């Protein structure tokens, strides 16, 4: 397995509609499925992140590594009650815009 970073700029850090930082969480699925897919704490892909992956109170997520052979759908929810979003077709090393 090769490792790559998962970066979703519009959600890192998480912000509310007014632009203020908020706590949030992400859940990673194998693209086009409801199967959870692990992400990892470093480029060895040895230690998986918990699911859902929580940001800190300022909306910052830890570094997210993943297998470059995988494509992800990412469920993103803020702790302030705004509707959740799904980002589809995310590959390590790439970023896409949100589809609600």
User: pLDDT tens-digit profile of 82-97?
Assistant: 667 888 888 887 444 4
Q: How confident is the model at residue 100 (pLDDT cuts 50, 70, 90)?
A: very low
Q: What is the pTM of this model?
A: 0.82
Count helices and strands in the chain by DSSP H and E runs: 0, 6
Distances (CA, A) of 66 to 2, 32, 70: 8, 17, 8
Look up residue 9 and give its two tokens.
Answer: 């700029």
Percent of all residues in the chain with a pLDDT value above 70, rounded to a whole number: 88
């Amino acid at each position: 397995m090769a490792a790559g970073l998962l970066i979703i700029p519009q959600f890192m850090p998480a912000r509310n509609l007014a632009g203020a930082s908020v706590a949030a969480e992400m859940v990673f699925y194998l693209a086009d499925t409801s199967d959870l897919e692990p992400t990892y704490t470093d480029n060895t892909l040895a230690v998986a992140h918990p699911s859902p992956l929580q940001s800190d109170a300022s909306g910052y997520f830890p570094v997210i590594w993943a297998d470059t052979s995988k494509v992800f759908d990412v469920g993103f929810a803020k702790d302030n009650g705004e509707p959740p979003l799904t980002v589809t077709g995310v590959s390590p090393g790439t970023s896409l815009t949100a589809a609600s």
